[in-house]
Every structure is written in structure tokens, then in C-alpha cells.
Amino acid sequence: MPEGPELHLSSLYVNKVCDGVVFTGPVRKSEVSKCPDVHFTCEAYRITAASRGKEVKLTLTPIKSDGSKQRAKPGQADQPMDIVFRFGMSGYFRLTTVDELPKHAHLRFYTKEKSCRVLSFVDTRRFGSWHPNGTWQPDRGPCVMFEYESFRENLVSHLSDRVFDRPICEVLLNQKYFNGIGNYLRAEILYRLNIPPFVPARTVLEGLEAQDPCENEKPVTKNVTGKKTVVKAKNRVEMSDLLRMCHKVPLEVVNLGGKGYDPEKADYSGFEAWLQCYSVEGMKSVQDHNGRTIWFKGDPGPMVPKDSKSPKAKKRVKKEGDPEHTDKKKVKTNQRQKVIKQETPKKEKDTRLREAGSKTRKTERTLEVSTPRRRKSSNTDPTTGSLRKSRRVAKRNSK
């Protein structure tokens, strides 16, 4: 699911590809989308984007000709419109030609060019949404990345709320206080601080100040001496401050380029190498009280759900050229050959016995068919018949 860093990268992408581009005509929605229609039509307008936590706002601004004080034509927009997007599970923006329009492009903005292009909001699973004439959602707190001071003040001032009685891993997904934090970010933040996921949130957060004590300190620098690189030790306060880590870790992802939500950067290797806990081999995982999977190391904490199930870990697929894959394949092949060799003598013996038995039965049947059965004669003396015949002949002659 796109989290704060991915939405910010999407806004940067829109600003980059739409810089100097003029759009025209109506905003069109796909037939299958259940989101509201965007009633905006203009002969010429520009598009800019901004992000806040897990929301992106596009601003459509009509272009007015210099010195023109005439009113816009009927049906044509003359005032800017804001459209607020929430990406759901799979939303992102893409600028393509008309012929390369993505299959799941559910909201489309057309350029005013000879070779027309389209800026599309693409959402394969259709969990995302947009709101014409929208504003930032009021129930969401300040952005953890770009409204850091307000984020800290908002959270510290609400620590008495009952929601902080819940496990820290579940509170981190509450966008009222941690706007921009999602599933992979919470796992990485808790892992770096060595905090069990199922401990009360208030015990972790109480004692933190509304103002970051490390905010005015100089950033950590590297001193290079010859071939050796000496890194100064990080401040313990900085490393133990969960709110500061909620600010720093997402910005690290922004600097990496995100998880591929910038269409021009499709390489995932940098992000996968950056992950230390989330979906990493050797880490544990259970489902929290809301059914979301949390990754961690060590003891989960006292508030872990009873009978919690650990989702099946995804096995890393090894390529044919991978030495580890080749070695395992050889071992499995040798094991199969040994099993076959062990089973062969027994199978051959059973086969011979069955064949011998079948031959014996065939021989017995052949003998029974080829040997005729003799009738039992009632006369034991073979000469009796001939005597009777001679007597009948003698009687005829005497007559």
C-alpha cells in the first residue's frame, strides 16, 4: 500500500511531467469507476500537485490570456479546482500517449498538444478515491514528514486519549496522530528503536516533549581520514525518540525514490536493500488486533493477540544462476536417486513374484482346456456289445 513517502513522490512526479504542459477539455472518468464525476471543463489549464501525509491534491488552474477581462464562456471553468486523492492499495499517476493509456486509468486529463497525451490516475484494485473541490481530510493529523513541529505538538497534547492504551504498533497506523505512517514504516521504526510492537503506546510516548530536543543540533557528519571513515556517535536522545524516527525514516525513503511509484524509476533493489525488518528473512510476523501483519524481532510484548496467527512467509525465489539454488537442486536430485535405488530391489522382487504367479495360473488353465474329459461307461466289459450284434445276425439268417 502506498504510504506517505510514495504519495509525496507521486506529487513530485506530477509537478515534473506537467511543468509547462497545457491541458484542455473536460476531465474524463472511466465507466467502471464509482467515484464522483469531476465537473471541470476549460480550454486551457495547468496542473500542479502537493502532498500531505497519505493524501495528494491536484490543483487545476485555468490560463487566462494577458489583459483579458472577459468572462469565461458558458460551461468553461474560470476558477481553480482542487481534487484530493487517496491512493488506496494501488493508486498512482502516469503520463502517457493516448495509444498507451493504462488499462485501469480511472480519471484522465488530456493535454492541448498535436500528439495528445494523458495524465491518468491509475488504480488497479479500485480502493483509491478522489474528491472534487476537496480539502485535506480534517480527521487526519499533521504530516509526519513536512509538518514535523505540528505533528509532535498534536501527539503530545493528546497522550491522555484512550487510544494510547492500545499497542504501539496499532496506534502508529492511526492517521489522526501519525499521518503518513503505514505498515512497512511502523515495522522499520519499531525495529530500529528495539521496541516490542505489542506494548502500550503511552508507555513508549510519555516523557517525550512537544519540541524536539535534537532539532537545533548540528546533523551527524562523517570525518574521512585516509581510507578509514569515522562516524560520530549519534545522540542517545535522538535514537530513543520515536516521534523523531517517525519523521526521519519516511524521509529516507523519499531520498531512495520510493517503491516504484515514480514510473521513471522501476528498480526496486534500492528499497529492498534499505529494508531491515519488514518482510525480511529471519524476522517474525503476527497479525495485530485489526488483522494487519506486523513484522518484528524478539519478544512481541504483553499485548499480543491471543491465538495470533503468523502469516506464511513468502519464500524468496532463487534464479537458475544462483549458486545457492543450484546446490540445493543438486542435493534434492541426489536424495531422489538414493531413494529410487533403495526402493528398486524391493519393487523388482515383488514384480518377479507376481509374474511367476501369473505364469503358473496360465499353465494350469491351458492344461484344463487341452485335456478332454472322458465319459464314464456303464459297461465294464468291452466284448459285450459285439456278442449282442452277432446274436441278432444269427436270428435273421434262421428266419
For 227-271, write each residue's pLDDT tens digit: 443 334 444 445 579 999 999 999 999 998 755 454 545 677 888
What pLDDT does 67 receive? 57
Confirm if 1 and 182 have CB atoms less than 8 A apart: yes
Cβ proximity of 129 and 35 under 8 Å: yes
CA atoms within 13 A on the CB side of 90: 9
Secondary structure of residue 97 in the 3-state scheme: strand
Amino acid, single-letter form, for residue 134: G
What is the residue-averaged pLDDT of the chain?
81
pLDDT at 166: 97
In this prediction, residue 214 carries a pLDDT of 74
Q: Is residue 286 a contact partner of residue 294, using CB atoms and an 8 Å limit?
A: yes
Q: Distance between CA atoms of 103 and 100, rounded to whole angstroms?
A: 9
Q: What pLDDT was estimated at residue 313? A: 52
pLDDT of residue 212: 84
Residues 6+ away with beta carbon under 8 Å from 86: 54, 55, 128, 129, 130, 137
C-alpha cell at 102: 493504462
Question: Which pLDDT belongs to residue 216?
Answer: 59
pLDDT on residue 256 = 87
Confidence (pLDDT) at 225:
38
Kindly state the helix (H) or strand (E) to which residue 387 belongs, with its residue range.
helix 384-398
Q: What is the pLDDT at residue 335?
A: 60
Q: Which regions of the chain are under pLDDT 50?
A: 218-237, 260, 262, 264, 315-328, 376-378
Other CB atoms within 10 Å distance of the CB of residue 38: 21
Residue 49 β-bridge partners: 58
- pLDDT of 39: 95
Question: What pLDDT does residue 3 have?
Answer: 94
Q: What is the dihedral of CA 50, 52, 55, 61, to 10 degrees?
A: -20
- Residues annotated as part of the active site: 2-3, 54
The model's pLDDT over 144-181, given as tens digits with 9 standing for 90+, comes to 999 999 999 999 999 999 999 999 999 999 999 999 99
